């Protein structure tokens, strides 16, 4: 146990010293920083977020609940859930596969591959949608002929929306799991392998449990983003009310049509999802940290 000196500002002066401190010399900078920081975040983030809640319930809870009778909003909600239900498992499988493949190997071009996986974060969602249109549009797409002859409908239909959502959200899982796997090292897997476990058993019984919180964290981020994706979906969906309109598209459309209650009602639903995902994230972060601390303690005990 190393002796840790507390930082200077944490050492309180004895009571009898107090009167000699001149109030005029007091340093007001920290208070000012906190005040400005809170004001800035309050105006930029908190106020708009609050406005959604206030507007959604401005005319009472009854009016808010009436929104759920709107067939168009319900169909948008159903489509959003369907898209998420397809996109998230696909991305989870990819994320875990990519993480186990990449994290513990050293090879030339590893940094490049990681950057490629990160690409969807930096490409504008609209460009993602455009790429899909250029590929699958029956009239102008590269595979237009093929899509038409097979009788598929990808653009302006749910498969296109699913594809757009997948592209925009696939890096989250790999990004969360890779650093943890890199940190942990190979020993446990090697032990399992020498004991005769197959690849599948090693993954299922050793690797996955060791990254479960990071994977859960990645899952939350993927789901939250998949539910709320707007730009990429807007380009490929065609935005037909009641058919190919997801909930975020519905928010924009309703606002444009001056259906303010509906717009804020749908926004409230999405906002609630965002807040729940934030809370879950905080919880998982704490679990991750406590697990890390526990394993550190163990390492200290058995060097």
Instruction: Render 25-88 in DSSP notation, one character per residue.
Output: G---HHHHHHHHHHHHHIIIIIHHHHHHHHHHTTTHHHHHHHGGG-HHHHHHHHHHHHHHHHHH
Burial 150-165 (b: 16+ CB within 10 A, else e): eeeebbbbbbbbbbbb
**Sign of the CA dihedral with 130 first, then 134, 136, and 139 last:** positive
Tokens of 156: 């302006």
Question: Which residues, including other chains, have CB under 8 Å from residue 209's CB and lie 6 or more apart?
Answer: none
Cβ proximity to other proteins: between 57 and 255 the closer is 255
Q: How is residue 118 annotated by DSSP?
A: H
Question: Which residue is it, tokens 């995902």?
Answer: 277
CB atoms within 10 A of CB 210: 17
Report how far residue 47's alpha carbon sits from residue 52's, in angstroms, rounded to the nearest whole number: 9
| Inter-residue contact 268 to 56 (CB < 8 Å) | yes
CB atoms within 10 A of CB 87: 26
């Amino acid at each position: 146990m190393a002796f840790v000196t507390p930082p200077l500002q944490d050492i309180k002066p004895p009571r009898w010293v107090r009167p000699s401190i001149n109030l005029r010399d007091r340093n007001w900078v920290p208070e000012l920083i906190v005040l400005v920081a809170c004001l800035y975040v309050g105006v930029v983030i908190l106020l708009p977020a609050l406005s959604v809640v206030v507007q959604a319930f401005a005319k009472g809870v009854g009016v808010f609940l009436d929104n759920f009778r709107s067939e168009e909003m319900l169909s948008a909600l159903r489509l959003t859930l369907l898209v998420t239900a397809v996109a998230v498992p696909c991305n989870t499988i990819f994320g875990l596969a990519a993480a186990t493949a990449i994290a513990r190997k050293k090879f030339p071009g590893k940094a490049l591959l990681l950057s490629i996986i990160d690409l969807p974060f930096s490409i504008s969602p609209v460009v993602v949608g455009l790429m899909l249109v250029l590929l699958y549009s029956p009239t102008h797409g590269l595979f237009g002929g093929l899509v038409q002859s097979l009788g598929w409908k990808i653009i302006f239909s749910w498969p296109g929306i699913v594809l757009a959502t997948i592209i925009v959200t696939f890096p989250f899982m790999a990004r969360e799991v890779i650093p943890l796997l890199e940190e942990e090292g190979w020993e446990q897997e090697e032990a399992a392998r020498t004991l005769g476990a197959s690849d599948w058993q090693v993954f299922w019984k050793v690797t996955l449990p060791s990254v479960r919180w990071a994977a859960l964290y990645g899952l939350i981020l993927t789901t939250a983003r998949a539910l709320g994706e707007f730009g990429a979906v807007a380009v490929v969906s065609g935005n037909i009310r009641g058919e190919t309109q997801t909930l975020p598209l519905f928010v924009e459309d309703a606002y444009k049509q001056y259906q303010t209650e509906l717009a804020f009602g749908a926004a409230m639903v999405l906002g609630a999802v965002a807040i729940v995902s934030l809370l879950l994230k905080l919880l998982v972060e704490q679990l991750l940290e406590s697990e890390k601390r526990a394993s550190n303690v163990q390492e200290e005990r058995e060097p």
